[in-house]
Each structure stands twice: as structure tokens, then as C-alpha cells.
A and B are shown apart, each in its own frame.
Chain A
């Protein structure tokens, strides 16, 4: 039975999650050098258009279609065949099946777009969009099936992932690490100063991400009621706690309260609370967020001392924050918030074990497949722009349209 309130909330949530991808473009764009600002935003914008169509054509069917041995969805729902306006009781019994499909499609878009942060300022635009479509099909869709699809093997194992910590954030964070390793460093990495093009864009992007994340997490309740409200609250609490903890870390270690630090902290907190948002109370969310700010700060500091040019620290924020969130869900899941789950603190250590297994699977699968896809693209059509193009900048050489004239 279609419920008007639930449907309205899910449609609004879908629009909120859509906004996260252009918001990510501004977040990333503000962090890259001026000569690559427009290209970086454009990569995210292109991801929105590409994955929207990929999702309708075959992505949704591979991720949520009738399961083939728990490994992948079949292509029965290709082009939304059979995905109609009646609810699908397996996934969301009170909203049209198409509304559920739309909401999930927005997740597929933002996940692929997240990886862009690791490859900015040097990947060819053409190879970049080819990568986005291949990655979404080969890495995202199967993993989404395992965790969320009816019959998916991680779902059957009992892994808790309220809004996509494993499927979205660990997945994208680890893919980013593999991508940075295949693409190698930007010219001048480690020696030249890479000045962020616009700090205000970073805050603008982070704010819009925060805003969109209410749809991401509270929308994942798939209904407009108590659970959505609780997830909304947990999301806001964790984001605030992590903003402050990262800010304090930057203040303590670098002597100044960093604006980029506060923005990164907000994202780290939102990432960490994503899998937990529908299972934890306010204090649980606060601990998860506060810890995420600290952990991700150290992860980013550690990464910047290595030779791996994960340019905008997708691994440090999404990979590490997502991993912490998945494990924290197994610790803090409170049956008083959501009776379907209990964590370590509520007498269920088994949940923690399941969370670790699901996290490990995501790390291994995402890393190996992403590495292979990028190697394949590199060997066939090439991944990087020429040295001259990289020096001049991608705005001019990929689009002939500079961000600033």
C-alpha cells in the first residue's frame, strides 16, 4: 500500500541526495588548484548524468534485481522493466518501487563521484567518464547487491549498514586508494605548493553535503516517521561533533583553527554515522562523530607523509571514516532506537564480528577490482593527460573553458 507521507519524504530525500554530487564538486573544486577548478566540478556533474542513465538501464537491475546466487542481480529489470508504481514489499512496502529505485540511484551517483577526489588534476576527462561507468557497473552494483539486495550474501549474514557506510564510503574510499596508486602522483607532488583555489567553495560544498546528507541518512528509513527523525538527529549530532574534533586537532597541531579542517571534519562525521544513523542514540552518534574527526585527521596526516597522491584524501576521510562507522555500528547499535539490531554494548558481540567481515570484504573487493579496471583503461586508451596539458591545467586543455577569465 502506497503511503503518501512516506512517498513524499522519499522523493524529497532523493532530491537532497542528488544535490550532494554537485556539492561534492564544489567541495573538491575548492581544494584543487585554480587551473583545474572547472574540470573538477564538471567531473562530478558528468557523474550525475552518466550514472543516472546507467542506473536506469542496467545498474538498478544488477544491484537490486532478482538475485543470482546472492552474488549479483539478474538483468530482468533492465531498463526498469517490471519496476513500476506499485510498492516492492521486499525493499520498501509503502512507496512506489520507482521512488525506491530513484533514491538508490542517487547513492550510486555520489559513490562514483567520490572517487574523483583521488584522481583530480591529472586524469583525462574522456577516460574519467569511462572509468565512472565501468566502476559503477563492476564494483558498485555487485557490492550494493551483496549488502542490500534481497538474497545478497552479506545481507543474509546480518551485516548492518543503515545508509551505505560499506557500499558507499568504504567502497569509494578504498577505490580512491587504488586509483591514486594506478594514476601516480601529480607533477610537483611533494615539492611544489598546491594552493586550494577557493576555501569558501570548500565550506559551501561541505555545507551542501551536510544538508543533502539528511536525505541520505534519514531518507534511508524509507518511511516518514520515528526512525527517520532519529537518523536525522544522529546525522546532525555526528557531523557537529566531528567538525569540532577535527577543528581542535588542527588548532592543537598546526597552531591555527583550520577552515578546511572543519569542512573535512564535517564530512568525516557524516561518513562515520552513515551506517549507524538508524541504530544509535544521540550520545552514541556523538562518540562516533567525535572519534571520526580524530581518526580521519590522523589518517590524512599519515597519508600526506606517504608517496601516495590521493589528492583530496578520499581514503583518509571516506575509507577510514567509513570503516570506523561500520565497526562503531557493531558497538553502539541500540535496540531501544531500532529493535532490529543490537551491538556489542548491548550484549551482542556477534554483530561486531559481522561488521568486520563485511568491511574486510568491501576493502578487498573494491581495491582489487578498481585497480584492475584502471590498469585496463591505462593500457588501452590511457588515463593521464600529457605532461604539457597537466602543467597548463585541465580547465583549458580538457574543456577550453577556464573557471576564471
Chain B
């Protein structure tokens, strides 16, 4: 099992949610974050004054997936969150030891789907 963690643009959430659902992963966790990437926020010039926005609001999406599905989920996530402009975000894959569904006690991959 892997935890797939993705920083995405807020506008892309619906796309991401729908496409992950199609792959059988309806369950996910989303929260609001602020951060920056290689570009160090964004800046633009207004009448000669440079204006810089250091940390940009984004969404963090977390979904735990079966090892067999990781490649598909990551690729789908990448395609869904893609606009082509700087600031599309990043995806991380992290190993997960175990998962337990609280209501039934199912464990591991059983608890995911």
C-alpha cells in the first residue's frame, strides 16, 4: 500500500475527484494548504513596483492505494491536475504499513476499496 499525496490547484479538485473515483478510489482526504515550489511563489510588476506572493493557497489531496494501482492512480492524478502552467503542483508516494476500517475491522488492501 502507498499513500499518494498531491498538492494541486483548488480549481482542479473536481476533475481529480471524479477521475480517482473512476479508478475505484472514491475515498480521499482533502485539506487547504499554503506553499511554494521552485518558482518561490509568484511575482508581478504593477507600475514599476514588484509585487510578490510568497506562499500560494493550494489543496493537498491524500489517497491510500493498493500497490498494484499506484502507477495508474499517479498517472491519472497527474493528468487531472494538469494545466501546463507553472504552479500545477506535485505528487508524492509514501509507503503505508497497514490500514484498518474502523467499522468492520478489515485490514490492508481490504480496507481500501
Contact = CB atoms under 8 A, between A and B. Distances in A.
Interface in B1-39: 9-11, 13-15
Q: What interface size band does chain B fall in?
A: 10 to 19
Interface stretch (B50-58, B68-76, B98-106): B50-58
Interface in A203-233: none
B58 to A, nearest CB: 10
A1 interface: no
Given A392-B56, A396-B53, A400-B51, A387 B85 contact: yes
Contacts of A187: 11
Main secondary structure of the interface of B (DSSP, over half): mixed
Contacts of B44: 386, 389
Contact of A191 (B14, B53, B56): B14
For B9, B15, B51, B53, the residue with the greatest tally of chain A CB atoms inside 10 Å of its CB is B53
A388 B13 contact: no
A387 B10 CA distance: 14
A43 B51 CA distance: 21
Q: What interface size band does chain A fall in?
A: 10 to 19
Given A387-B85, A388-B42, A392-B42, A192 B57 contact: no
Contacts of A389: 44
For B14, B15, B57, B87, the residue with the greatest tally of chain A CB atoms inside 10 Å of its CB is B57
A193 interface: yes
Interface string A174-190: 00000000000001100
B85 A188 contact: no
Given A387-B85, A400-B51, A392 B57 contact: yes
24 contacts: A35-B57, A187-B11, A188-B11, A191-B15, A192-B11, A192-B13, A193-B13, A193-B14, A386-B44, A387-B85, A388-B42, A388-B85, A391-B9, A391-B10, A391-B11, A391-B87, A392-B53, A392-B56, A392-B57, A393-B57, A396-B53, A396-B57, A397-B53, A400-B51
